[in-house]
Amino acid sequence: MTHELKLLFTTLKSWQDLGKKVVFVSVVDLKGSSYRRPGVRMLIREDGEYAGAVSGGCVESEIERQAQSVFRSNKAKVITYDGRYRIGCEGVIHVLIEPVFLSDELLVAFENQLESRKSFQMDSFFYTEVGEYDNVGSVLQINGADYPLNPDFKQNETSSQKCFTQTFEPLFQLFIFGAEHDAVQLSQAGKLLGWEVTVVASPEESKSCDYFPGAASLIAPSFDAIDTSAIDEQTAVVLMTHSFNKDVQYLMALKDINPAYIGLLGSVNRRERLISMLLEQVPDLSLEFIEQIHGPAGINIGAENAAEISISILAEILSVVRKQKPVALREKVGAIHE
């Protein structure tokens, strides 16, 4: 979600610079099932241009129609959309549509928070009754300070008012150790998920970051100079060097990290050989580090080529991060998003 909000704010700033009026749209409540859960957001510009989406494409035109009164009155409103009778989604969503203008102070605080890799929160105040209100709107909370998205928002909580609270974690990172063709595919696929991708190449590597279209950066430190301080609990690490010796040296450099995921390309036999070699080099290696290594990386979807393997790996990362056991949705008991 954090990467989606970052993209929305970047787009909103560019539209503000053009002098365009914009509304900020948030799904704040859901009864039943829907394509996306509460917390998904989008922007609508006064000339009808969108950024983001709150559904698969079936709700946005109705929201744009409802937003016209917000552009005219500059007053926020709450609407509902009943998908049971229109699109078969089995649910009713409550949508908050509010005027928005990002102050320089808010943007600086937001960018600093992303840079420091700290979480933050957004509270969206709303009523379940459809209508226009002075006291509905969204407030960004960063380091104890409140930043309303609508400068005219007047917070005046009442007993019937609801508040949807959403916590945004630091941007998810993907560190790829290796610079071969399959790393290109994985970096591109990771970028599509909104992840910040870093490719770690060996010191003798001649490729540049341009070789990896999805990567934000490419670094090539010596094995004894690898800085692991940027690898945190919102980071996935994948080793795909296709070199046994390089993988051993990278694992030695990474032995003290605690990321969300560590994946290792190659067979089960190769993994066992790597761990044995690693234990010879680092006898006091913690059991916790060994147990968090996923090797072979990925889930079994019959992947054959580099693009398919990248999907397999990313699917496993998501399942680990979201604490889900991969299963066909038709076999899942209960709601899709539970």
Chain-centroid distance of CA 207 in Å reads 28
The structure tokens 């309303």 sit at: 148
Average pLDDT of the segment spanning 213-230 = 93
HSE at residue 108, side-chain half, CA atoms within 13 A, is 4
Average pLDDT of the segment spanning 295-315 = 96
Judged against a pLDDT cut of 90, whether residue 309 lies above it is answered with yes
Look at residue 163 in the predicted model and tell me its pLDDT: 94
3-state secondary structure of 229: coil
Q: How far apart are CA 36 and CA 28, in angstroms?
A: 11
Chain-centroid distance of CA 298 in Å reads 19
Confidence of residue 89 (pLDDT cuts 50, 70, 90): low
The percent of residues above 90 in pLDDT, for the chain, comes to 78
More confident residue, 83 or 100: 100
Judged against a pLDDT cut of 90, whether residue 264 lies above it is answered with yes
Look at residue 83 in the predicted model and tell me its pLDDT: 64
Confidence of residue 250 (pLDDT cuts 50, 70, 90): very high
Q: What is the mean pLDDT of the chain?
A: 92
Task: Tell me the angle at which helices 2-17 and 104-116 cross, rounded to the nearest 10 degrees.
Answer: 150
Confidence of residue 90 (pLDDT cuts 50, 70, 90): low
Judged against a pLDDT cut of 70, whether residue 34 lies above it is answered with no
Residues in the chain: 338
Judged against a pLDDT cut of 60, whether residue 87 lies above it is answered with no
User: What's the predicted TM-score (pTM) here?
Assistant: 0.90
Which string of b and e fits 229-249 if b means at least 16 CB within 10 Å? eebeebbbbbbbbeeeeebbb
Chain-centroid distance of CA 152 in Å reads 30
DSSP symbols for 48-116: S-EEE-SSSSSSHHHHHHHHHHHHHH--EEEEEEETTTTT--SEEEEEEEEE----HHHHHHHHHHHHH
Average pLDDT of the segment spanning 17-26 = 96
What confidence tens digit (pLDDT) does each residue in 157-199 have?
777 899 999 999 999 999 999 999 999 999 999 999 999 999 9
- The tokens of 144 are what? 């104890």
Q: How far apart are CA 141 and CA 119, in angstroms?
A: 10
Phi, psi of 123 (to 5 degrees): -105, 130
HSE at residue 209, side-chain half, CA atoms within 13 A, is 10
E-strand spans in 186-277? 196-200, 217-219, 235-239, 261-264
Chain-centroid distance of CA 334 in Å reads 24
Query: How many other CB atoms are found less than 10 A from the CB of residue 161?
Result: 15
Look at residue 33 in the predicted model and tell me its pLDDT: 63
Q: How far apart are CA 254 and CA 231, in angstroms?
A: 9
Confidence of residue 331 (pLDDT cuts 50, 70, 90): confident
Look at residue 62 in the predicted model and tell me its pLDDT: 87
Q: How far apart are CA 287 and CA 125, in angstroms?
A: 46
Largest pairwise CA distance in the chain: 71
Average pLDDT of the segment spanning 54-61 = 79
CA-wise closest residue to 123 among 60, 166, 94 = 166
The percent of residues above 70 in pLDDT, for the chain, comes to 94
Confidence of residue 54 (pLDDT cuts 50, 70, 90): confident
- The tokens of 170 are what? 């630091």
Average pLDDT of the segment spanning 310-327 = 95
Average pLDDT of the segment spanning 137-151 = 95
